[in-house]
Amino acid sequence: MAGGLSLVADGGSRAAEIRQLPSGLGERWQLPAPPSPTLSELFAVQPRDGGWAGFLLAQLGTRKPLLWVQERMAILESGRVHPPGLPGHDFIHVEARDARDALWAMEEGLRCSGLSAVIGELRGDPKALDFTATRRLAVASERSGVAAFLIRLGGHANLSGARMRWRIASAPSRANDLDSRAPGAPAWDAELFRARGMPPGRWTVGHEADRFHLVAAPGDRALGEERRLTA
């Protein structure tokens, strides 16, 4: 993975520190990540909020293509992947008939070391998505060294073999230094609610070109809860 997020504000009393935060603005900060490729789950707080895509793609390298699997119901809910909107990313797109076919395509793709990652989008809580299915994806990812990301649109956090589980929502963009009326860099409200070997936490993170860094002092909620909900 390649770094591309910066901390805008931590989660206050609701968040537990994953690692020791830097003491001053501009210092590097490591976004929580598994030590080696495995299965992670991203839950979209709102099914039609596509902010998770920017949060995820900012962390992925571009040297190898992605395998992007969408089941039919996920496409109807949030739309089909649009290649021109992903500059710098080569990917293979698979449209699956249902969740069972999507999980099969993901597992097959994870056996190919020529991929940088496998992304799968599922709608709701399909019967095929049980602990056994997620455990198979996690094992396949760890064996091949290809990261897997399961995107849950409108799903609930049921029993899962995923090593990291996030809730992602779009947050108001950061200020634009060149034009106060224009949107700035994107930002996301990211809550890590389960991770192997790490305590949970919640942060507002923004996108930067090449590194993670702190842009608001720890404990300073630059984007308040009420403002996020309104947005």
Instruction: Return the half-sphere exposure (C-beta side, CA atoms, 13 A cut-off) of residue 227.
Output: 10
Q: Which residue has the higher pLDDT, 25 or 86?
A: 86
d(CA 98, CA 95) in angstroms, rounded, equals: 9
Per-residue confidence (pLDDT) for residue 8, from 0 to 100 = 62
Whether 186 has a pLDDT exceeding 50, the answer reads yes
Q: Is the pLDDT of residue 184 over 80?
A: no
For each of the domains in the chain, give its residue range(s) and CATH number, in order of start.
Answer: 5-149+157-230 (3.40.50.300)
Q: Which residues contact 216 (CB under 8 A, 6 or more apart)?
A: 7, 8, 9, 10, 25, 222
- pTM for the full model? 0.81
Q: How large a percentage of the chain has pLDDT more than 70?
A: 76
In tens, the pLDDT along 128-182 reads: 999 999 999 999 999 999 999 999 999 998 899 999 999 999 888 777 778 878 8
pLDDT of residue 24: 41
Q: What is the mean pLDDT of the chain?
A: 80
210, pLDDT greater than 80: no
